[in-house]
């Protein structure tokens, strides 16, 4: 299991224990967390699962691939910390990951 802390725009947070191999998006959707719409179901085709990676985790999570980077161009408020949560597959190295959820995906 891997712990992921999802931080809401108001500063409140919830930590989930998720299976290795699960995406950050799948964990949020399965638990009904606000802030991740995931309209395309994880196909990297809509940018409605946009999150911002806590700066301490950026080197471990790594940068988006080319397709994800193109989708992030459509994400509201995207910056250098932005990733699509459907593209972050959990590994043991990501235990303790912290992601910030946007106030809106649109």
* Whole-angstrom distance, CA of residue 48 vs CA of residue 2: 23
Provide the pLDDT confidence category of residue 99 given band limits of 50, 70 and 90: very high
Could you give the domains of the chain?
2-100 (3.10.20.30)
Query: Could you tell me the pTM of the whole model?
Result: 0.93
Distance of CA 41 to the CA centre of its chain: 13
Sheet architecture: strand order including 82-84: 13-18, 2-7, 97-100, 50-53, 82-84
pLDDT tens digits, 19-56: 999 999 999 999 998 889 898 999 999 999 999 999 99
Residue 11 three-state SS = coil
Name the DSSP letter for residue 41: S
Backbone phi, psi, residue 82, to 5°: -80, 140
What does the CA dihedral 7, 10, 14, 20 come to, rounded to 10 degrees?
A: -20
pLDDT at 103: 81
Question: How far apart are the C-alpha atoms of 38 and 55, rounded to whole Å?
Answer: 23
Condensed to tens digits (0 to 9), the pLDDT of residues 57-78 reads 999 999 999 999 999 998 888 9
Distance CA 79, CA 23 (A): 21
pLDDT band for position 104 (cuts 50, 70, 90)? confident
């Amino acid at each position: 299991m891997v712990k992921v802390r999802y931080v809401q725009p108001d500063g409140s947070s919830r930590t989930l224990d998720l299976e290795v191999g699960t995406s950050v998006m799948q964990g949020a959707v399965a638990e009904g967390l606000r802030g991740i719409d995931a309209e395309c179901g994880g196909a990297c085709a809509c940018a409605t699962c946009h999150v911002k990676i806590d700066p301490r985790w950026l080197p471990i999570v790594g940068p988006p691939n080319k397709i994800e980077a193109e989708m992030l161009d459509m994400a509201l408020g995207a910056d250098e910390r932005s990733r699509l949560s459907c593209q972050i597959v959990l590994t043991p190295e990501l235990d303790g990951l912290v992601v910030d959820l946007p106030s809106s995906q649109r």
